[in-house]
Amino acid sequence: MFQDILNSSFIKGSRVLGVDYFISSNGQPEINCIILNKKKEKIFIEKRFSGINSVDQLSDDETKGLPLAISVDGKGVILKVTEYDKNRKLINHILPNANEDDFYIQSTPAVDNKMIISAIRKEIVHEIVENFKQAGFQIVNFYISALSIENFLGIIEDEKIFTNRYEVNKDSELIKSIVKLPEPNQASISIGDEEIYSNEVLSYATALSFYLSDTENSGLDFVTELAKEYTFKRLFTMAGWFTLAFFFILLMVNYFFYNNNNQNLNKLTFSFNQNRELIKKLDTLKNEYLIKEQYFVNSGFLDASKLSYYADRISYSLPSEIKLSVMNINPLNTKIKEEKPLGFSMNQITISGTVSQSIILNNWVKKLKKLDWVNNVNILEYNQDVANIPADFKLEIDLKQNV
């Protein structure tokens, strides 16, 4: 439960910066970014950045303090779709003789018992992370190569997803293949009423992980620690502000109460003693007023009414073979007791009378049900002790509201 609270938008925040960090052949970064925001369960793009060549260019008032989810690709990054052998280390699937301790590795399952594996040397990651930390960013998720695209699989129906560097083929919610494109792609994806261009797909998918999954899914221990650091820093900051606000409000309330009570205590005491009997009489009158007001409200007398019209229509539709003895409109539903408010069954009419034959009563009930202001008609009682003597009956008519 505590973990659910930590992962809630209230603690984590609703805004996130998604970064697609591409290392070009000359070692210079090419950065595309998106700021996502979440309001009322709807995620939307708040701002887009492209053509950025250094981390320092990202550090401004709009991005300050935002959690950052990053996807790193390009020079020094390896991505491969391969047959999975559980007896082999992940790194040996793509680099047979490599030392696993030199790399950060991520993987995700693909179709046909295959595995998509990406790897990057640790020193490259440490340098990138340090650059962002020095610029004031807090990393909460980290993807190697195009693996963040898996966040799109459940929300994109197309079998192909294009980034500016990759063509991703999917089957249901698994990736079939990831193919590197020879030339940058200019396609786009529509999600809801927003269009996401190919150079923004990875940054969008990376940022989306902030809302869709726990950061431990990155599989990188240092990212998990950075995410926890961000969450607890937010929690500590919010707790500090709430505590400060609480004690400030408490202090102000205490001051005003003390000052006000100190000035008015003697006046109120004297006034109360002088007017005690008047207060008692006022309370009695208020109680009588409330009881009478409740009576009129419950009885429906204060509402716009068509009750006389309903009674007229019922009488007009009455067959000559039926004799009415009682008609109660909004009948009582409680016993009359002294000093107790009366209760009424609103929008209801009960009718009692006699009828010579049951079929006549049934036909009349059917006729009543067809009236546009009648919701339902129930026969509550029907008693006929002797065949040649009219039967006693009781009907309950439920009226439609606001008709």
CATH of the domain at 385: 3.30.1360.100
Final residue of a structural domain among 297, 316, 341: 297
Q: Domain check: are 13 and 150 in the same one?
A: yes
Query: What's the rounded Cα separation, in Å, for the pair 202 and 216?
Result: 19
Final residue of a structural domain among 238, 254, 272: 238
Quick one: tokens of 37? 């925001």
Q: Range of 277's domain?
A: 240-297
Residue 88 counted as domain residue: yes
Q: Domain check: are 245 and 382 in the same one?
A: no
pLDDT band at 2 (very low <50, low <70, confident <90, very high): very low
Residue 200 counted as domain residue: yes
Residue 290 counted as domain residue: yes
Distance from chain centroid for Cα 170: 29
Output the pLDDT for position 41. Answer: 83
Q: Domain check: are 283 and 388 in the same one?
A: no
Residue 302 counted as domain residue: no
Residue 393 counted as domain residue: yes
Final residue of a structural domain among 297, 321, 337: 297
Q: Domain check: are 259 and 317 in the same one?
A: no
Which bin fits 339, alpha (ψ -120 to 50), beta or left (φ > 0)?
Answer: left
Q: Which of 266-280, 295-309, 374-388 has the highest mean pLDDT?
A: 374-388
Gyration radius of the chain's alpha carbons: 38
DSSP β-ladder status, 42-52 and 67-74: unpaired
Q: Domain check: are 179 and 75 in the same one?
A: yes
Q: Domain check: are 20 and 132 in the same one?
A: yes
Q: Domain check: are 226 and 313 in the same one?
A: no
- Which tens digit of pLDDT belongs to each residue from 61-74? 788 889 999 999 99
- Which tens digit of pLDDT belongs to each residue from 163-209? 989 999 988 778 888 999 988 888 888 888 889 999 999 999 999 98
Residue 198 counted as domain residue: yes
Tell me what the mean pLDDT of segment 231-240 comes to.
77
Task: Considering only residues 338 and 153, tell me which one the structure prediction assigns the higher pLDDT.
Answer: 153
Q: Domain check: are 196 and 323 in the same one?
A: no
Write out the H or E segment, with its range, that includes residue 284. Answer: helix 276-299
Residue 123 counted as domain residue: yes
Report the mean per-residue pLDDT for the chain.
84
Which bin fits 68, alpha (ψ -120 to 50), beta or left (φ > 0)?
Answer: beta
Q: 200 and 35 in contact (C-beta within 8 Å)?
A: no
Q: Domain check: are 214 and 93 in the same one?
A: yes
- Tell me how far apart the terminal alpha carbons of the chain are, to the nearest angstrom: 49
Q: 241 and 249 in contact (C-beta within 8 Å)?
A: no
Q: Domain check: are 45 and 121 in the same one?
A: yes
**Number of domains present in the structure of the chain:** 3
Q: Domain check: are 149 and 277 in the same one?
A: no
Query: What's the rounded Cα separation, in Å, for the pair 126 and 87?
Result: 29
Q: Domain check: are 109 and 69 in the same one?
A: yes
Residue 42 counted as domain residue: yes
